[in-house]
Every structure is written in structure tokens, then in C-alpha cells.
Amino acid sequence: MSLPTDPGRGAVREERRRVRGEHLSRVETGDVGLLAPVWVGTWAEALTGDRQVLEAMVAFEAALSRAGVTNGLGSNVARLDADGIDVRALARDAVSPGNPTVPLVAALRGAVPEGEDPSGLHHGATSQDVVDSALMLVSSAVLHEVEGQLAVLAGRLAALARAHRSVLCVARTLTQQAMPTTLGFRVAGWLMGVHDALAVVRACQPLPVSLGGPVGTLAAYGSAGPDVVASVASDLGLAAPVLGWHTRRTPVLGVATALAAVGEACGRICADLLLMSQTEVGEASDGSGGGSSAMAHKANPTRSLLVVSAARQLPGLLATLASSGADASERPAGAWHAEWQPLRTMLRLAGAAAERTADVAGDVTFDVAAMSRNLGLLLAAVGKDQAWAAAQTEHVDVWVERALAHHEEVC
């Protein structure tokens, strides 16, 4: 039995929706980094904005149109660009279809000059091809910059390891003083972590274009499909996959794994610097410290703590992306959509971590006197002297030399 309804309530609800819609249209909703000081103002932010993703999507459509002509299977759309497209409007129009490709293609078709054949636009592709390829383009740009920043960081760490290879200090395990080591050996450990991250970043490149059409078979191009894929990939500077990867998300997982490795390497360096810069330890400073709103005497190691914050966020985002590969059928439902924001956030966090850690490595200073003082506490605790400490570390330079030799091979 249906219950009687008050027609007045429906009108009230409709009016509330209208007022709410007007309010939302006036609200400034862009994410300009207010709560993300780790990546705001970095090149990683500049390469991953909505406008950059949109431009990458349009670049894919343009490359596809040219590939069709090259392979004698379509008409070329003379000019495709993102200049006249309202990104915010496109985002709002993406809600209904669940992705931004549908409204983008409509906008691009609407901009085709009268008399020009628009049939080559988006021919044979599907929405996922456009978004996946755009994210691969954006990821490639970020990874290129990450690789460069890691190389700079590695060079600075190698110089620090050489300069401080004989400086005695305390090694700590489980937060406690443990045994003597050298500052050069500690920095060499940081250097090897950066080498490891570089290897993972390089291994996942070049990233592949995505072009499979509605169910991955690129049926619109028939037996010429592989040639079209190769043409689009070459045009965009991406790799041509052997087979489409709509549900096989290995490329995205590869990028995410590399970014997590970057965060781990940079986070480890900055975590050590946070401990070494504690007032009671006093062994290091990561450069000009950040101020406090309540305690004017403080100079917080802000850059290091921001990098550590990035390193702590990356593993959780990696887990989200790793879960997207376990999906059924020829096209994923929901799993693919779940990748977009985590991937972009990982690009920003890891990119910023690499940039900021390279800066820190160029500015860091070490207090040798404080290291000697802290080593004295260890010697007193174990009843030993400086000669014992020197004997415990006389072999350490062999390992530093190995790390420096490896650096010459890697960089």
C-alpha cells in the first residue's frame, strides 16, 4: 500500500536542490595545494594538473587521427587542441558517463570547422584508451623529471660520502646507540637507496600507449590494428604494447611501484636527518628551518619532515593501485576508475620528494663536534676509548668505496 504524500514537500526539496546547486556553482573548488605543502609549487604539481591531463587526452586524439590517415583508414582532423575547453565544465559533464572522455570528444567534435570531416576523431578508440594513454603521457613526463632529480641527489650524496668518509659517529639501532660507524658509511647507505630507486624508475619505462577499442581487439582497424597502435605510440613517444591492457594493469602498477621506491629512498634519508637534527642530538641541519606559530625559538627541519610525510602516504596509494589489476572481463568496472586520483597523487608526492630531497642534500650541514660528543656517550657506556672506536670502523671505508664505484656505473 502506498502512503499519501504531501505535494508541498516535493516542491520544498526541489527548491533546496536549486539553492544548493547555485551555492556549489559559486564555491571555489579547485585544489591549489593548501593542505599539500610537500608538492605545492614543485614541477611535479605543474606536470599533473587537470589542464595537463586534458592536453594529454587531446594529444592522444590528435595522434589517433593522424595514425588513421597514415594507415589509410581514416580522415585527419586538421586541428585539435584544448585551449577553448573549460576544464571545470568538462569535469562536471564527466559525472554522468563516469569519465571525461565522453564530454571531451563531444567538445572536440563540436569544434571541428564546418566542411571538415570529423569521422577520424576518436575513430576505433574507447574512453579508457584516451584516459589511460593520457595518464601514461603525464606519468612519463613526471618519471623523466624524477630520474633527473634522483641523479642530482645521487651526485650530491656521493660528494658528501667522499667528504665525510672518515668522520666517526654513532650508529643507532632500535632508537638506541649501538656501535661506532662513519658518517660516510651512513651517507653511502642513502646513496645506495637512491641507486635502487633509479633502477626501478628506469625499468618501468618506456610506458605503453593504450589503444584497444571497445573490447580490446581494435576491431575498427581490422588487421591494420597493430600498425595503428605503433603509429600512435611513436607519435606520442610511448611504447607499442603487444596486446591491449585494459584489464591487465601492469603498466600502472609498474609506475606506482617505481614511485613508492622513490618515496622510500628519499624518506629514509630525511628520516635519518630528522633524528640527527633533534636538539639533543644536534648532528645535522637540513638547511634553513621552518618557523613555528607559537615558539619563535624553533627552526623546524620542515623540508625533511615533508618528504617523510610523502613517504608515509605512498604505500597506501600503491595498495589501492595494486588492487585494480584483479578485475574481470575485457574492461574493468570501478577498478580502473579507482586508479586515477591515487596515481596522480603518487606522481605528485614522489616527484616532490625527489625534488625536495635533492635540495636538502645540497644544503645539509653536519656538526662533527656533536657527533664526537655523542660518540663519547657510547664509549663511556661500554668502557672503551677512541682507539677502540677507530678499530671498529677501520674496514668501513671499503664499503664506502664500493658504493662510490657503483655510483660511477649508475650515474
Domains plus CATH for the chain?
A: 50-120 (1.10.275.10), 127-208+245-410 (1.20.200.10)
Q: How far apart, in whole angstroms, are the C-alpha atoms of residue 352 and residue 38?
A: 6
CA 161, distance to chain mean position in Å, is 28
Q: Could you count the other beta carbons within 10 Å of the beta carbon of residue 376?
A: 14
| Across 9-13, average pLDDT | 65
Write down the pLDDT at residue 325. 87
Q: Active-site positions?
A: 292, 331
Residue 86 has pLDDT above 80, yes or no: yes
Q: At what angle do helices 302-323 and 250-276 cross, to 10 degrees?
A: 150
Condensed to tens digits (0 to 9), the pLDDT of residues 305-337 reads 999 999 999 999 999 999 998 888 999 899 999
Residue 137 has pLDDT above 70, yes or no: yes
**pLDDT-derived band of residue 9, with 50, 70 and 90 as boundaries?**
low
The DSSP secondary structure of 331-377, one letter per residue, reads S-SSTTGGGHHHHHHHHHHHHHHHHHHHHHHHH-EE-HHHHHHHHHH
For residue 206, cis peptide bond before it (omega within 30 degrees of 0): yes
pTM: 0.92
Residue 138 has pLDDT above 70, yes or no: yes
Enter the C-alpha cell of residue 45: 604539481
Residue 19 has pLDDT above 80, yes or no: no
Enter the C-alpha cell of residue 117: 570531416
**pLDDT-derived band of residue 202, with 50, 70 and 90 as boundaries?**
very high
